Amino acid sequence: MVRCHFSRLLGEHKKRVADVARDTGLHRNTLALLYSEEAVRIDLSTIDKLCAYFNCAVADLLEYVPAPRGRRK
């Protein structure tokens, strides 16, 4: 599964979802889904804007975590 570390980045930079939405032009609902790790897909342009905003690599935002054996979908 892919883990999203958007909420961690917000905390580290002392930002709120509203701050990021205002500064990047990304829709607040998109950011809320990333925050709660409920997003089903993320546009590359969204990843690009978030990485530029937080000055981080994609690996700082998203992480692949293998699913336990027998639980793959």
Domain boundaries, the chain: 2-64
What is the mean pLDDT of the segment spanning 15-35? 97
pTM of the model: 0.88
Structure tokens at 70: 């027998």
Give the C-alpha separation, 6 to 41, whole Å.
Answer: 14
What does the angle CA 53 – CA 21 – CA 4 come to, to the nearest 5 degrees?
65
What is the mean pLDDT of the segment spanning 27-38? 97
CATH code 1.10.260.40 for 2-64: yes
Q: Provide the 10 A C-beta neighbour count for residue 3.
A: 12
Percent of the chain residues topping a pLDDT of 90: 89
- 71 vs 1, residue with greater confidence: 1
